[in-house]
């Protein structure tokens, strides 16, 4: 459960006094998520989500994240909206953390997505990429090559606690990616964490996207590779080409991928697999034993990385020309 910071009812009521959201009737910590502390609030009006921003979120990035949700929603994407306080500010403070109230999005995330859901995710990702156009703020991806190197430097000494013999493999992978990372592909605003728990469905219909706290400017096809990794592998580690095909077709129906973007997918997917391996590894090694958060398995992403390394043709992802 990701509640790193406790709140008291009195503090919460004082915080809510700054908003025009009705009276608090109940609140509870949300038993999901990894990065921030989230609470579901019920009031005499609409339900709300309260987020307290934690370690990996820089306060200076919050205007980008909150402004982006407003921009995307205005562009027709279904995503939560930050609520302004009575003084107009989108951000306040609670329990010594930057804190925001955002609208509650109806829906549930899918534990067992099928190919038809992957198609919708591909479509929604492309819609997000198009809707991001014209957003005036920028945020470089802090979790790209330089960020991976920093994370690796902090974890390399203890990587054997996860699997022995990984030092050389990960170091060589970083070298390979530094040498081969594409530079001239279309770029824009990306979600950068569009995993299953960040996509809500009502029945079989995608109802919206949440959790924009890794969003940044980067290669659009890199975001596609993140989704291939997150949505198209089975629990036993096998890549599901039917899901891959559906996700890519859904995406390309809204925003075509150029030949260069498609050819770059194996390298991009190696990069995105390494990115999630490294954050999970760092968290695995540093999260205190009693923390109320479910630690995610870094090895899942090591296996995905190895899969992408042996891709001979992008047809193996399910790309039909
Ligand atoms: N706007 C929202 N509407 C409904 N539920 C939400 C909303 N934002 C977050 N949640 C709930 O909180 C959980 C954690 O949110 P998330 O943003 O993924 O947290 P974290 O950034 O800590 O990973 C989600 O899985 C969902 O259950
Ligand atoms: N999606 C990441 C972890 C970030 O969690 P989220 O709750 O913000 O989606 C991973 O799986 O490693």
Query: 163-200 burial by CB neighbour count: b if 16+ within 10 A, else e?
Result: eeebeeebeebbeebeeebbeebeebbbbbbbbbbbbb
Which residues are near ligand 2 (CB < 6 Å)? 33-35, 193, 195, 197-198, 211, 276, 279-280, 296
Ligand 1 centroid–CA 43 distance in Å is: 18
| Helical ranges in the chain per DSSP H | 9-16, 62-74, 115-131, 145-155, 166-180, 220-231, 241-254, 259-286, 298-309
Distance (angstroms) between ligand 1 centre and the Cα of 53 equals 12
| C-alpha of residue 31 to centroid of ligand 1, in Å | 9
Cα of 36 to ligand 2 centre, how many Å?
Answer: 10
Residue nearest (by alpha carbon) to ligand 1 atom 27: 32
Distance CA(293)–CA(56), nearest Å, equals 15
Q: Is 101 in the pocket of ligand 1 (CB under 6 A)?
A: no
38 Cβ closer than 6 Å to some ligand 1 atom: yes
Q: Which domains does the chain have, with CATH numbers?
A: 9-103 (3.30.200.20), 115-317 (3.90.1200.10)
Rounded CA separation 226/228 (Å): 6
Residue 65 Cβ < 6 Å to ligand 1: no
Mutation to probe ligand 1, out of 28, 32, 72, 201 (largest number of atoms < 8 A from CB): 32
- Going from the Cα of 44 to the center of ligand 2, the distance in angstroms, rounded, reads 32
Q: What Å distances lie between residue 202 and 100, 232, 294, CA to CA?
A: 25, 21, 25
Which residue is listed with tokens 């038809």?
A: 116
3-state secondary structure of 41: strand
Report how far ligand 1's centroid is from the alpha carbon of 233 (Å): 23
Alpha-carbon distances, residue 30 vs 34, 46, 52, 152, 273 (angstroms): 11, 17, 12, 30, 27
1 pLDDT tier (thresholds 50, 70, 90): very low
**Tokens describing residue 156:** 């390399």
Predicted structure pTM score: 0.95
Q: Please, what is the average pLDDT of the chain?
A: 95
Q: What is the pLDDT of residues 78-121, one digit of tens each?
A: 999 999 999 999 999 999 999 999 999 999 999 999 999 999 99
How would residue 55 be classed by pLDDT, with cut points 50, 70 and 90? Answer: confident
pLDDT tens-digit profile of 217-230?
999 999 999 999 99
ipTM of the complex, rounded to two decimals: 0.93
CA atoms of 234 and 247, how far apart (whole Å):
14
Mean pLDDT calculated for residue range 44-55: 94
For the CA of 296, the nearest atom of ligand 2: 12
Atom of ligand 2 nearest to the CA of 280: 12
What lies within 8 Å, CB to CB, of 167 at 6+ separation is 156, 159, 160
């Amino acid at each position: 459960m990701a509640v790193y910071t406790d709140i008291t009812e009195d503090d919460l009521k004082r915080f809510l006094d700054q908003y025009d959201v009705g009276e608090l009737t109940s609140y509870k910590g949300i038993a999901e998520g990894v990065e921030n502390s989230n609470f579901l609030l019920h009031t005499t009006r609409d339900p709300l989500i309260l987020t307290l921003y934690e370690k990996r979120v820089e306060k200076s990035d919050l205007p980008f994240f909150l402004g982006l949700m407003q921009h995307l929603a205005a562009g027709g994407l279904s995503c939560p909206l930050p609520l302004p306080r009575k003084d107009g500010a989108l951000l306040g403070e609670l329990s010594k953390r930057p804190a925001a109230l955002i609208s509650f999005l109806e829906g549930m995330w899918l534990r067992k997505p099928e190919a038809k859901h992957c198609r919708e995710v591909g479509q929604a990702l492309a819609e997000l990429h198009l809707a991001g156009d014209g957003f005036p703020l920028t945020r470089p991806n802090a979790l790209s090559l330089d960020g991976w190197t920093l994370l690796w430097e902090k974890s390399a000494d203890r990587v054997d606690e996860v699997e022995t013999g990984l030092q050389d493999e990960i170091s060589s992978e970083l070298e390979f990616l530094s040498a081969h990372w594409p530079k001239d592909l279309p770029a824009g605003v990306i979600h950068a964490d569009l995993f299953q728990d960040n996509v809500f469905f009502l029945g079989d219909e995608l109802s919206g996207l949440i959790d924009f706290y890794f969003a940044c400017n980067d290669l659009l096809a890199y975001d596609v590779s993140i989704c291939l990794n997150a949505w198209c592998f089975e629990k036993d580690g096998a890549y599901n080409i039917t899901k891959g095909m559906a996700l890519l077709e859904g995406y390309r129906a809204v925003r075509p991928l150029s030949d260069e973007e498609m050819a770059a997918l194996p390298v991009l997917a190696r990069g995105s697999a390494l990115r999630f391996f490294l954050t999970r590894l760092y968290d695995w090694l540093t999260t205190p034993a009693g923390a109320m958060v479910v630690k995610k398995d870094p090895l899942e992403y090591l296996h995905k990385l190895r899969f992408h390394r042996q891709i001979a043709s992008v047809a193996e992802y399910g790309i039909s020309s």
